[in-house]
Amino acid sequence: MRILVLGRGKTGSLVASVAAERGHSVRVLDEAQNRNAMALTPPLLVVYDVVIDFTTPEAAVHNMRACLATGAKMVVGTTGWYAHLDDMCALVQRHSAALLYGTNFSLGVQILFRLAETLREEARGYEISIEETHHITKIDAPSGTALSLQDIFKAVNPETEVEIVSHRVEDVHGEHIITARSADDVLTVKHESHSRRPFAEGAVRAAEWVQSRTGCFDFHDVFPQIYA
């Protein structure tokens, strides 16, 4: 498979390495080479089977508009752009493209989401809060993963109060803690990342899955198929 990776940051570079390890041909474009998606022309995009985006929220929107308008297949691991999700999915439909997006491509975090869904059903009457910690270079706060967790708990009742506390410190790949508190006890569920590799591997597996499909997909909905 031929993969174009957008973004030469730590995660994007690791995605390229993992893709090469899995036998794919890879090219990486950094943001300086692709300002306002100017490099994403139809003659370039037709060469690649899937485009993987790990850039910034603003850049990702430009990149998606350029790629999806050509019918390209995309995996977007960038977060912070979801206000544009409906527009992007409409673009996918118009051009028979494919978009697989997710707040976190780590298998461990997907398991955390499933645990959160169970906690939502079983811990009624508990007060839920979320705490997340990331490296100081992470742009968005709260993290997309924390917002996904919040959405899980608010899915049954949108009026549910679920506080998110964010921390930005040196040299932390990512930590998310769910706390369920009652008058009598406290239950804590924690996921801590020691490496970016699970994110990168999940993104490459997502690209392998989406290359033969059209439509708009949330990684959380399809990850059991991807990891089957």
Q: For the domain covering 107-193, report its CATH number.
A: 3.30.360.10
Give the tokens for residue 94. Answer: 């118009």
Q: Which CATH class is domain 2-105+197-226?
A: alpha beta
Name the nearest CA neighbour of 7 among 41, 40, 43, 44: 40
What pLDDT score was predicted for residue 10?
86
Domain with CATH 3.30.360.10 in the chain: 107-193
- CATH 3.40.50.720 residue ranges of the chain are 2-105+197-226
Catalytic residue among 62, 134, 173, 191: 134
pTM for this predicted structure: 0.86
Does pLDDT of 211 surpass 80?
A: yes
Verify whether residue 190 is a known catalytic residue.
no
pLDDT in tens, 89-100: 999 999 999 999
Catalytic residue among 138, 173, 191, 220: 138
Tens digits of residue pLDDT in 42-65? 999 999 999 999 999 999 999 999
| Helix orientation angle between 219-226 and 107-122, rounded to the nearest 10 degrees | 120
What is the C-alpha to C-alpha distance for residues 159 and 209, in angstroms, rounded to an integer? 36
Decide if 134 is catalytic: yes
Separation of alpha carbons 109 and 190, rounded Å: 10
pLDDT of residue 206: 98
